[in-house]
Amino acid sequence: MTERIGSGKRGPRPGKGKGGKSGGKGRGARVTSRNLMTRVRTAKGRKTSSTRWLQRQLNDPYVAEAGRLGYRSRAAFKLIELDDQFNFLKPGGRIVDLGAAPGGWTQVAVQRTTNKGKTGKIVGMDILAMEAVPGATLFEHDFLDDDAPALLMEALDGPADVVLSDMAASATGHRATDHMRIMALLETAIDFAYQVLAQDGAFIGKVLQGGTETQLLAAMKQNFRIVRHAKPPASRDGSAESYVVALGYRGASKT
């Protein structure tokens, strides 16, 4: 297990460029499509699928905007758009980020909880190594290990306001299998959320369309005032992923 503690410095505000002017309405950045398509030629030894992936990356406006704003991945905009819609990241909030690597969601969480003279407490975990994020405590650790919840709760030092889960198992290409795997991760993340969330806390987790989550969502609706499905614009059209957003946790935290 590796723990990395950032310096607490605040990063750039999403959607702001030089002079602090916002790139779009609300709290998020405006991301627009390119006018010109960059085409990638198939190189010797490169698979066709790799060529398609590279071309998609080069022509993805979210990838370009992430680089401009210093985010580690385009996925940062998924959290920005979800928070713009549901407003769950508050100044001074305690946030747990599961499946944090490479750190895009953690960066956004730090930025959006550091405001109005308040500083949030952000704790992230991933089985993959990642560089330190200023203002966050990061663990290189498997969340499915028995000791993982205790590590997170100790670092959090109090009940969580939000539990984020962008965890995803390695894709097999078999849709039903991939769906079951990600749902298993989601169930584990929700069970953890029930342990650490403060009253009125929120849970945001990745799901794949598959139709077997009915029972899980029914249980969540008993524990949260609001449970919604959302697919942020930054989530690619061809992707089966979406997010479950649960707000207003009814139970008292057990921490």
For residue 143, the surrounding DSSP H or E stretch is: none
Which residue matches tokens 């342990």? 195
Sign of CA dihedral 69, 74, 80, 85: positive
Is 206 one of the annotated active-site residues of the chain? yes
Can you tell me the distance from the alpha carbon of 161 to that of 172, in angstroms, rounded to the nearest whole number? 34
CB-count exposure of residue 40 (10 Å: 0-12, 13-18, 19+): middle
CB 135 within 8 Å of CB 10: yes
Asked whether the bond before 102 is cis by omega within 30 degrees of 0, the reply is yes
Instruction: Out of 116, 118, 206, 254, pick the active-site residue.
Output: 206
Active site residues: 206
